[in-house]
Amino acid sequence: MKKIIGLALLLASQLSTAALNDDIHLRGQWTQGGMVLGVAPAGSQVELNGEPIMVSESGNFVVGFGRDEKGPAILHVTHQGESWQQSFPISQRDYKIQDIHGISQKIMKPNPANVQRSKTEAALVYTARQTKREGLDFLLGFKWPAKGPITGVYGSQRIYNDVPGRPHFGLDIAGPVGTPIYAPAAGVVTLTHDDMFYSGGTLIIDHGMGISSTMIHLSKILVKEGQQVKTGDLIAEMGKSGRATGPHLDWRINWFNVRLDPQLVVSE
């Protein structure tokens, strides 16, 4: 039996081979910022919108959808000469948009050295998120990395005098400097950096198949690159390093470089 929740199945156009259909299971949210977990027979090849995606030896795969994804998502599976395809609409979200008018426009222009520095750092982050490790740590779900009031959500955006700012992709959890931060899921640490220009103390954990957590504005990082962590391990302390207005954890989840909404995947 396929486990597809909601109307997606009813709305989906179908072009499938009956036999393969029974062996493909999908669960997750077909929405902007959402993550969908899939399993197909071992040895299957899977494409999302015509692009091949990573499939584990066991046939597990994962896909994710960005903040402004329009959809539909067309999933295509081939296995031993049979093929299966479905088109899933991606539900569109309303983000928190804040209009700020009548303020003097302060355009922050970092000096050229800092521009160069932030570009170099962005490249390190990009590379860490491209890791193609065949782990399946994300399958067990995500726990809250820290406790505290939520002060920023995925997708929100400020518009200054009609000029849209960069959307916010993290989930902000506020707390005093030094608040412990725990691994939301198991994985391998792929990047640690004590002080990036924008994000300050920065930590990336690879949860397998392109799914990663990024933790920023940290005051202290307690793990090393290459280290394996388990869910709930103490990994860092909250801070306000980099360009942060106050102490908080900004937690991001990615599928490679597609930004997902941590609140859609965190369970307990």
- Show the binding pattern over residues 204-243: x = contacts Zn ion (CB under 5 A), - = does not: ----------------------------------------
- The structure tokens listed for 198 are 């924008």
C-alpha–C-alpha distance, residues 7 and 149, integer Å: 33
Among residues 83 and 263, whose Cβ is nearest to Zn ion?
Answer: 263
Among residues 111 and 245, whose Cβ is nearest to Zn ion?
Answer: 245
Among residues 66 and 170, whose Cβ is nearest to Zn ion?
Answer: 170
Applying CB under 5 A, the span of 50-58, 124-132, 184-192, 244-252 interacting with Zn ion comes to 244-252
Element (H, E) at 80: none
- CA of 265: how far to CAs of 5, 8, 211, 248, 262, in Å? 15, 19, 11, 20, 5
Among residues 84 and 154, whose Cβ is nearest to Zn ion?
Answer: 154
Nearest residue by C-beta to Zn ion?
250
- Ranges within 110-169 binding Zn ion (CB under 5 A): 152
Q: Residue 96, SS3? A: coil
- CA of 20: how far to CAs of 2, 109, 243, in Å? 11, 55, 50
CB of 146 to Zn ion, least distance (A): 13
CB of 245 to Zn ion, least distance (A): 9
* 250 is an interface residue for Zn ion by CB under 5 A: yes
| Cβ contact 37:20 at 8 Å | no
For 38, phi then psi, to 5°, come to -135, 155
In the chain the first and final C-alpha atoms are separated, in Å, by 27
CB of 207 to Zn ion, least distance (A): 20
C-alpha–C-alpha distance, residues 204 and 196, integer Å: 13
* 170 is an interface residue for Zn ion by CB under 5 A: yes
Among residues 237 and 250, whose Cβ is nearest to Zn ion?
Answer: 250
Among residues 4 and 205, whose Cβ is nearest to Zn ion?
Answer: 205
Taking CB under 5 A as the criterion, the residue among 69, 121, 137, 172 binding Zn ion is 172
Residue 222 CB-density burial (10 A; 0-12 exposed, 13-18 middle, 19+ buried): middle
Q: Residue 64, SS3? A: strand
* 261 is an interface residue for Zn ion by CB under 5 A: no
Applying CB under 5 A, the span of 82-90, 113-121, 156-164, 247-255 interacting with Zn ion comes to 247-255
Half-sphere exposure (Cβ direction) of 148: Cα atoms closer than 13 Å: 21
Residues that bind Zn ion (CB under 5 A): 152, 170, 172, 250
